[in-house]
Amino acid sequence: MEMWDVYDRDRRLTGRTMRRGDEMAAGDYHLVVHVCLFNAAGEMLIQQRQPFKQGWSGLWDVSVGGSAVAGDSSQSAAERETLEEIGYQADLQGVRPHLTVNFSSGFDDYYLIEAPDLDPGKLMLQYEEVRQVKWAAREEIIRMIEAGEFIPYHRSLIHLLFDMRRGYGAIADREKA
């Protein structure tokens, strides 16, 4: 049974926990993390969810995603999920998420990691979660969203993830682009 920390709307821990799957009370929120890995060609590693997994079954998604469990920080949740789902060891201690998106019942933290030498064939995929992984260019992901093969993220979010992969902030650094 997975337990989540409960946050208030200002992202402060309330000191309470809840069981995953239980209905959230009004004013309660939880934390979700996403890790997007990019290769030297500027492609994102994407994963296909298992067809028997509940929620977005069989669809493609960003490299890694999952809920923080009770006691996790955003960074430790992202590290744990990355290791569990695809067997990749990410060191995010002292690293802030590149982007946080609020949703109706929580906070989505996005970490963008350059992994130029990552070989998807050497990853250890978690059978219960991940069917397969592959590298995909921005345009392929957008096409997959339009075809209903990818979780229906806003296309602008996908563009933003690719645009922000080499730095923080809303201002484009022309030298890194």
Residue 176's pLDDT is 54
DSSP string, 37-50: EE-TTSPEEEEEEP
Cα gap 113→101, rounded to integer Å:
18
Q: Domain ranges in the chain?
A: 3-164
- Which tokens hold the place of 136? 């995909």
Decide if pLDDT at 35 tops 60: yes
- Which tokens hold the place of 21? 């799957």
Residue 57's pLDDT is 96
Average the pLDDT over 132-148 and give the result: 98
Q: 15: how many CB neighbours lie within 10 A of its CB?
A: 7
Q: Are 47 and 87 in contact (CB under 8 A)?
A: no
Q: What's the topology of domain 3-164?
A: Nucleoside Triphosphate Pyrophosphohydrolase (3.90.79)
Q: What is the pTM of this model?
A: 0.94
